[in-house]
Structure 1
Amino acid sequence: MLHLRVIVPADESAEIVDHLRDAVGVTHLVVSPGAAIEPAGDLVQADVTREAADAVLDALTARGLQRRGAITMEPLDTVLSDAAVRAEKEAPGDPDDAIVWHELTGRTRDDATLSVTFLAFLTIACLLAAVGVITDSPVTVVGAMVVGPEFGPLAGIAVGLVARRADLARRSLIALMIGFPLAMVVTGLAALLGEVSGLIELSDVTAADQVDFIYQVGVFSFVVAVLAGAAGMLSLVSAKSAALVGVFISVTTVPAAGYAVVAATLGQWAVAAESAAQLAVNMVGIVLAGVGVLWAHRAVGRRRSARVG
């Protein structure tokens, strides 16, 4: 379940309380008159099932409470209550299958924001990938996969397309279009410095036969990207973040970028182009899979709501 906390102007409190009392999937309703100081108003709290959360949030935002008051919602790890059990039974669907769109857009917006931290993680991941290629170390390449933050913007594009949030899709695209070139330039400069100083003695990038899967783009590159993207989006919509680690080490986005940079510094442009194609295939596959999962979720939710209605 999710805990809902709303600051309501005093003159609207009774109406909001009546709405929450009658709403499906809402329980543990508590009202504290005059408890809120800034912004001033009544504090209304309730626990809401995941299946009903979006409808409740839509109703509250439609009344403009996010402008005149405040709306917050957070997950509850443990709930021991017969009333909560009844609320879960009354709400159609299963909690794990429910998408809380307000939560999803908020989470992906944060992960898709171009920031110093995002750029730092992406650059470090590309550097790790380059080291993995130079040393022919699959373990280092896997480390680069885990460190890379690129799934956030890719998921943001998918959510933006399905939710018709152009701002979210644009923010995510900007993060990728600025982040990857910058990280690759820094990695390229580091690789050139290593070659000039004699630290890097690699003359043929394809000699690293333990990591050559990175640039070998093919049908299964797209298949893996689609499967990983679907798993990643499912983990986001169901709030099961543990599955994301598996997603990170399934696709060769950051490793492909690192491989392309090392190949380019050695003048192996054909290999660099293949690596860049691998990067593009993986990103497109992840976005398409994310869009597909969200569309399927939305279609199932609408069909279930129609049956209940």
Structure 2
Amino acid sequence: MRLVQLTVPTGERQTILETLDEREIDYVVTDENSGREYTAVVYFPLPTPAVEPVLDDLQEAGIDEDAYTVVVDAETVISRRFEALRDEYEQGDVESDRISRQELLAEADSLTPTFGVYATMTIVSAVVATAGLLLDSSAVVVGSMVIAPLIGPALGASVGSVIDDEELFTESVLYQLVGIVLAIAAAAVFAWLVRTTNVVPPGLDIGSVDEISERLTPDLLSLAVALGAGVAGIVSIATGISVALVGVMIAAALIPPAAAAGVAIAWGQPSAAIGSTALVFVNVLSVNLAGLLTLWYVGYRPESLFSLTETEERVRKRVVALGVIVLVFAVFLGGITYSSYTLATFEENAQTEAELVLEEPAFEEYQLLDVSVITDDEYPFVGPERVIVRIGGPPGEPEPGIADTLAERINRHSSTQVDVEIRYIGLVER
């Protein structure tokens, strides 16, 4: 529910009151004695879905923005006429539960901080995320998402497109681009400092850190996170629900992969940064695409009906452009997903082959200890480079044929030649 406070310009009192009477809206009028160009203030409660059509009616009646309108939350309204008004406008779906276009624009503006604050918080969140990745701490990474100020620009571009506010759209797009660059740069600088000052162990293999490796080789499921964040963000802002948690979800799609890209650059592995950088961009685009489609679906349109056709055409072009780019990135992520699937299948087959070989009568005196697959550094499409098979058996040298047999059987499952290394451990019975 909302309480609307509308200042009445000189000569407009009758027009405003007639408009409210036609809609059977209760109101209170107080005289204005400040000596300015206003003669009164009208107070009237409205169901949330009724705010936009009522304000539009007042504008069509000739009440422009000089009337100075304030819309605030109302906890409780007790009135039979208000109950009838609520029954008229509330149908229990997202379209009827959404806030007004005027409130949406104000909310989008309020979610985007000043540039200085935005840049500072983005850099801080990227540094914290980088520390979390290098510590392999998911808790620290989550903490970096909480302070990231990304939800405003991420949703502002969609809001600006749908309600025909090109200034908001341009500012939001610029903020997003600058935010990505700042996050990756801040992460790279911080990771370089950490590495050169030996805060982390010298020779650290970033591919062995789980929090980092999973973002260097992202898969297709990452798209679901970004699309879900975009839809949830728009539904939250459009229905007046708190967007704080949704902001964390959007940050989860952007800050950790940007930090992973910075770490890869600092470690002198630019190819390793390709996958995470692609993930950042596809997530940004997916959030914008999902937000744009959701806003249009729930019924937001520009204020002026004369610009509706032009806005529809602009939104359509942006949806198509975003859809095509996201599809291209999706194919790229699909390739990474297939590469990861192939690697996982090879690891499973290598384990199975090693077990089968040692079950053969000629090698029954040996036992398999473990199988390790070492991958190459061809990010983001990593593949097997070397297989280490640890076996135990009687003291002395192992059967000469076991190494050749294992190498031949394991390489059946790889399209490229993979080195197979046997590490033999003599076991003494007690």
TM-score category of the 2 structures, normalised to the smaller one: 0.7 to 0.9
Aligned equivalent of 2:154: 154
Kindly provide the amino acid, as one letter, of the partner of residue 69 in structure 2. Answer: I
Aligned equivalent of 1:239: 240
Tell me the distance in 2 between the aligned counterparts of 1:61 and 1:156.
24
Cα 1:60–1:113 shift into 2, 3 Å = farther
Shift of 1:55: 1.2
Query: Which of residues 57, 60, 70 in structure 1 aligns to 2:58?
Result: 60
- Which stretch shows the higher mean deviation, 254-263 or 196-205? 196-205
Q: Conserved in 2, the CA contact under 8 Å of 1:36 and 1:43?
A: no
Aligned equivalent of 1:282: 283
1:72-151 aligned at under 5 Å gives the runs 72-91=70-89, 93-94=91-92, 97-151=97-151
1:45-56 aligned at under 5 Å gives the runs 45-56=43-54
Q: Conserved in 1, the CA contact under 8 Å of 2:162 and 2:300?
A: no
Cα 1:121–1:37 shift into 2, 3 Å = farther
Aligned equivalent of 1:303: none
Tell me the distance in 1 between the aligned counterparts of 2:217 and 2:128.
19
- Which stretch shows the higher mean deviation, 284-293 or 204-213? 204-213
| Structure-1-length-normalised TM-score | 0.87
* Unaligned 5+ runs, structure 1: 301-309
Q: Conserved in 1, the CA contact under 8 Å of 2:216 and 2:272?
A: yes
Identity %: 25
Kindly provide the amino acid, as one letter, of the partner of residue 298 in structure 1. Answer: G
- Which stretch shows the higher mean deviation, 256-265 or 192-201? 192-201
Tell me the distance in 1 between the aligned counterparts of 2:90 and 2:276.
46
Aligned equivalent of 1:305: none
| Structure-2-length-normalised TM-score | 0.64
CA RMSD of aligned residues (A): 2.3
Q: Conserved in 2, the CA contact under 8 Å of 1:51 and 1:95?
A: no
Tell me the distance in 2 between the aligned counterparts of 1:241 and 1:283.
21
* Unaligned 5+ runs, structure 2: 302-430
For residues 63-122 of structure 1, give each alpha carbon's deviation from its aligned partner in whole angstroms, at most 9, with x where no partner exists.
35322x311101212333333222201225348533411111111123235422212221
Cα 1:37–1:205 shift into 2, 3 Å = farther
1:163-174 aligned at under 5 Å gives the runs 163-174=163-174
Aligned equivalent of 1:22: 22
Secondary structure of the structure 2 residue equivalent to 1:298: coil
Aligned equivalent of 1:304: none
Shift of 1:39: 5.4
Shift of 1:176: 1.4
For residues 147-200 of structure 1, give each alpha carbon's deviation from its aligned partner in whole angstroms, at most 9, with x where no partner exists.
211121111111122222211110101111223323432332222222222223
Give the number of aligned pairs. Answer: 296
- Larger C-alpha radius of gyration, 1 or 2? 2
- Which stretch shows the higher mean deviation, 93-102 or 161-170? 93-102
Q: Conserved in 2, the CA contact under 8 Å of 1:5 and 1:45?
A: yes
Kindly provide the amino acid, as one letter, of the partner of residue 298 in structure 2. Answer: H
Runs of 4+ in 1 over 4 A off after TM superposition: 35-39
Tell me the distance in 2 between the aligned counterparts of 1:234 and 1:131.
32
Shift of 1:46: 0.6
Kindly provide the amino acid, as one letter, of the partner of residue 65 in structure 1. Answer: D
Higher RCO (C-alpha 8 Å, min separation 6): 1
